[in-house]
Structures are given as C-alpha cells and as structure tokens.
C-alpha cells in the first residue's frame, strides 16, 4: 500500500516509540499546586466562590435550558462553590474508571465535601514554562457549563502530574456501554446525536473552541439519562504535550487533520459520524466489515452502504491495530492493520457507510453527510441540527435512562431525564 501521509503525522507516530526527554523542574514531593492560584504573572486567579456562582448563574440565563436542566446546573454550581481549593491529600480513591488518552481516570471521594468525582491524572515531563501555559489555558473549563458538557470542579498539579477533577458520570463512556450492548439502537443514537451536536455548538458559540477529540470514549452518560462530552481541547499546549498518545486516538480524526491542512469544527463532525457508525454496527468501521461479518452482526444477509455494492478491497485489507475484536459477534480473521495503513486508508479510501436495509434512510443520510471527505462539502452543525433524523429524534419518546440502566446494571433514579428532551 502506498503511504501518502504528511511528515508531521509520521513524526508524531514515530514519537510513540521514542522516549520523550525534557528538562523537568517539579515542586518538592508531596506538594500540591493549584492550577488556578499559581503566583505567576498572567495566570488566571478565580474570583471568590460566591462571585463566581453569581456570574455563572447569570450566564445560565443565556442558555436554552429546560427547568430540569437549569436546576441541575445550579445544583452543580452550588456544590462546586463549596469545594474550595483542591489538594492531593483531600481525595480518597474508590476505583479506576478507565485509562487512555495520556492519563488514567479514577473514581474518588473528595473528603472535605464528601462529593464523588472523576479525577483524571496526566503525567507530563515538561518544563515549568510549558506547565504554566497549560495552567493558564485550562482555566476556561471553569466557564464551560452546559447540560451537554461534563462538569469541572477544578485542577491542581502535584508530583509531576496534573489532576483534572470532573463530574462523575455513573454510566461511563459510550465505548464501555458498547461492550455491554454489543450494538446501540438507532433511537438511542438519535438522543446521543442531539447531545453531541448541542455540546459542540455550545463550545463553538460560547467559547470559540473545537472539541478536537470526539469519539465514543469521550461521550459520557449517567443513570439520569444525561449525555455529555468530555476531554475537549481547551489547551493547545496540553494537546501538544500529550503527543505521545497520538496513535491511540487519531483513528477518529478527519482526513484534513491527518493531512496536516487547515481544519475547523467540520473535523468534529467527521469524528461524530465515524463514532455513530461504530456504535451502530458494534465495531470500529475502518476497514469496513465484509458481507460475512455483517451477516454475523445482524443475523441475516446485509448489504454494505457503498451504493449497494460490496467493498472490493475489504477482504484484502487487514483489521485495525491492536488485535481488537471487531464486534461483539465475532473476531475478524484479517491480520492487524498497521497504524500507517489505517491512517492512509482514512485519507485515501472511501469513507465508511451504514449497511443498507438495517437503519432508516434518515439515519443513513445523516451519517453520510457527516462523513464527506471534503470538509467544504461536509454538513455543518446548523445543517445537522435541522436534519430530519435530528428533528425526529427530538420529538421521539425514548427512555434513554431506562435503557442505559438495564444495559449497565445501574439503579435508575426516581426522576430520570429522557435523553436530551
């Protein structure tokens, strides 16, 4: 296979196998440093908790929220105002929630407030100047308050690690849900699509930022039926400093990002579309499943979505890297695809499609518009929010919380939400 990827991408991939070495100047062991109270010129220093709460409550009035969403956000902000400065000694570990994207996420209890949180630990060997820039950039997380964005309690630096403390979502991420569900029904994915689009629109319109890393593991859910985005790219310096995690996360990137060209929020749209196909068929869709695998997944003969014709190259292409099963219905017998081959496929081969005769035409068309390779022709957020698939999903009665709790074995609260209604 001919590889036609830019040198910038090749260099970052190769860094996966090189030890990242730099000068490190850490605080003395055991000392925690608040990311928002550093005595450094130009570093963000938050106002008092009460002033912060009042300002944020005022901003909530500018958002299109229903009464339940407003009450939950206000309750979260009230809890957050009582947390105070975060320190390493204030946390009691409960269990590990997951690992990846350059860090590990633990479920913890904040002892002073007794709040259960998700604490992400990111180990970075970086110079103090870079660390301070990350500190300045992360402060915008305090201002990201939306029903479709995971809540942020704060962050601190201790023993060479940045800790980012977030709202705990008891349903986990959609990649974890997929392992239990094997495939996620279209009506559930309708609610997921609404939440992701609204979350992306909020980040863009209110904060002028892109997510940059939309994928199933960064879409979190809870037993109240809420669907929220996490791990969005507020800190460009943090993204650069975590370049060693490139290989594990770039398979959801758009062709224009992999080619090193200019990209916009349209790149997030591609990532969302790719994620929806994965959740719908039960496995990462590149390279596409052949007819035998599709029959195993859906229990009957199924045509792929490439204009009714089987993919002529799918039988010879190896499977994605990592030796992972391609779905909950069987294991692909093709040899593992090298990361170079995977990225080359995304850039140079046709985009994935949903198989025919399994999903509604509206859903198929919605996904197809997300996965147009030319970003200038790809649907934007506004177009997608007005798509028939989304309009139907907005009015459709779907017990998302009930489905999730049954799938994940969770206790359902007495007053769950219904998806994103």
Instruction: Return the closest-CA partner of residue 3 out of 345, 397, 282, 362.
Output: 345
Least confident of 17-21, 50-54, 330-334, 347-351: 17-21
Q: What value does the CA radius of gyration of the chain take, rounded to a whole number of Å? A: 22
The values of phi and psi at residue 133, to 5°, are -65, -40
Query: Which helix (H) or strand (E) element contains residue 7?
Result: helix 7-14
Q: Is 365 helix (H, G, I), strand (E, B) or coil?
A: helix
* pLDDT, mean over the chain: 80
What pTM did the predictor assign? 0.81
120 is in an annotated binding site: yes
CA angle 142, 96, 190 (to 5 degrees): 65
Neighbour-count burial of 296, counting CB atoms closer than 10 A to its CB (0-12 exposed, 13-18 middle, 19+ buried): middle
Tell me the fold of 172-408: Transferase(Phosphotransferase); domain 1 (1.10.510)
Residue 36: the pLDDT is 43
Residues 401-420 have pLDDT tens digits of 999 999 999 998 865 444 44
Percentage of residues in the chain having pLDDT higher than 70: 71
Neighbour-count burial of 301, counting CB atoms closer than 10 A to its CB (0-12 exposed, 13-18 middle, 19+ buried): exposed
Structure confidence at residue 239 as a pLDDT band (50, 70, 90)? low
Structure confidence at residue 17 as a pLDDT band (50, 70, 90)? very low
Structure confidence at residue 125 as a pLDDT band (50, 70, 90)? confident
Exposed e or buried b per residue across 143-168, where buried means at least 16 C-beta atoms within 10 angstroms of its C-beta: ebbbbbbbbbbbbbbbeebbbbbbbb
Percentage of residues in the chain having pLDDT higher than 90: 50
Task: Pick the more confident residue, 298 or 43.
Answer: 298
Q: CB atoms < 10 A from the CB of 100, how many?
A: 15
Residues 262-308 have pLDDT tens digits of 888 899 999 999 999 999 999 999 999 999 999 999 999 888 766 54
Q: Is 227 helix (H, G, I), strand (E, B) or coil?
A: strand
Per-residue pLDDT, averaged over 255-265, amounts to 89
Least confident of 43-47, 225-229, 330-334: 43-47
Structure confidence at residue 332 as a pLDDT band (50, 70, 90)? low
Residues 373-402 have pLDDT tens digits of 999 999 999 999 999 999 999 999 999 999
User: In angstroms, rounded to a whole number, what is the distance separating the alpha carbons of residues 140 and 126?
Assistant: 21
Instruction: Return the closest-CA partner of residue 121 out of 173, 157, 67.
Output: 157
Residue 305: the pLDDT is 67
Known catalytic membership, residue 213: yes
Structure confidence at residue 318 as a pLDDT band (50, 70, 90)? very low
Per-residue pLDDT, averaged over 138-144, amounts to 82
Neighbour-count burial of 334, counting CB atoms closer than 10 A to its CB (0-12 exposed, 13-18 middle, 19+ buried): middle
Position 7 pLDDT exceeds 90: no
Tell me the fold of 31-167: Phosphorylase Kinase; domain 1 (3.30.200)
Residues 168-221 have pLDDT tens digits of 999 999 999 999 999 999 999 999 999 999 999 999 999 888 898 899 999 999
Residues 242-253 have pLDDT tens digits of 554 444 545 899
Residue 134: the pLDDT is 74
Per-residue pLDDT, averaged over 20-30, amounts to 33
Neighbour-count burial of 347, counting CB atoms closer than 10 A to its CB (0-12 exposed, 13-18 middle, 19+ buried): buried
Position 71 pLDDT exceeds 60: yes
Structure confidence at residue 56 as a pLDDT band (50, 70, 90)? low
Whether residue 343 contacts residue 329, with contact meaning beta carbons closer than 8 Å, is answered with no
Structure confidence at residue 157 as a pLDDT band (50, 70, 90)? confident
Per-residue pLDDT, averaged over 148-164, amounts to 88
Beta strands 161-167; 115-123: pairing state: antiparallel
Residue 380: the pLDDT is 97
3-state SS, one letter per residue, for 49-111: HHHHHHHHHHHHCCCCCCHHHHHHHHHHHHHHHCCCCCCHHHEEEEEEEEEECCEEEEEEEEC
Beta strands 115-123; 103-110: pairing state: antiparallel
Structure confidence at residue 45 as a pLDDT band (50, 70, 90)? very low
Residue 325: the pLDDT is 43
Task: Pick the more confident residue, 195 or 322.
Answer: 195
Candidates 175, 213, 268, 344; catalytic one: 213
Ordered DSSP codes for 122-151: EE----HHHHHHHHHHHGGGGG---TTB--
Q: Domain coordinates of the chain in residue numbers?
A: 31-167, 172-408
């Amino acid at each position: 296979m001919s590889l036609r990827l830019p040198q910038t991408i090749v260099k970052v991939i190769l860094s996966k196998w090189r030890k990242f070495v730099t000068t490190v100047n850490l605080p003395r062991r055991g000392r925690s440093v608040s990311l928002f109270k550093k005595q450094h010129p130009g570093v963000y220093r938050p106002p008092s908790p009460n002033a912060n709460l009042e300002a944020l409550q005022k901003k909530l009035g500018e958002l299109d929220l229903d009464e339940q969403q407003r009450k939950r956000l206000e309750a979260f902000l009230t809890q957050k105002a009582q947390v105070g400065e975060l320190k390493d000694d204030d946390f009691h570990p409960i269990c590990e929630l997951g690992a990846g994207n350059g860090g590990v996420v633990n479920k913890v209890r904040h002892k002073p407030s007794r709040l259960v949180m998700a604490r992400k630990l990111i180990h970075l060997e970086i110079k103090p100047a870079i660390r301070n820039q990350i500190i300045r950039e992360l402060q915008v997380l305090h201002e990201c308050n939306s029903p479709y964005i995971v809540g942020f309690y704060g962050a601190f630096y201790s023993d060479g690690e940045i800790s980012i403390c977030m709202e705990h979502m008891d349903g986990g991420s959609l990649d974890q849900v997929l392992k239990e569900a094997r495939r996620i029904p279209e009506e559930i994915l309708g609610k997921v699509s609404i939440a992701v689009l609204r979350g992306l629109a909020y980040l863009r319109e209110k904060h002028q930022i892109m997510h940059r890393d939309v994928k199933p593991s960064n879409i979190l859910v809870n037993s109240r039926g809420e669907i929220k985005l996490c791990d969005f790219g507020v800190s460009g310096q943090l993204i650069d400093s975590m370049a060693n995690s490139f290989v594990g996360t770039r398979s959801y990137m758009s062709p224009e990002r992999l080619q090193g060209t200019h990209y916009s929020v349209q790149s997030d749209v591609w990532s969302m579309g790719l994620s929806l196909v994965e959740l719908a068929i039960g496995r990462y869709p590149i390279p596409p499943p052949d007819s035998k695998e599709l029959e195993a997944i859906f229990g009957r003969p199924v045509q792929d979505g490439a204009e009714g014709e089987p993919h002529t190259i799918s039988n010879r292409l190896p499977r994605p890297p990592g030796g992972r099963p391609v779905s909950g219905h069987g294991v692909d017998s093709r040899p593992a695809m090298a990361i170079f081959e995977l990225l080359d496929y995304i850039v140079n081969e046709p985009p994935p499609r949903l198989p025919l005769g399994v999903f509604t035409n509206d859903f198929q068309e919605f996904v197809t518009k997300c996965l147009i390779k030319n970003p200038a022709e790809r649907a934007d957020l506004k177009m997608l929010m007005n798509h028939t698939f989304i309009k139907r999903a907005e009015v459709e009665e779907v017990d998302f919380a009930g489905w999730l709790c049954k799938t994940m074995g969770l206790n359902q609260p007495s007053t769950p939400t219904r998806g994103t209604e």
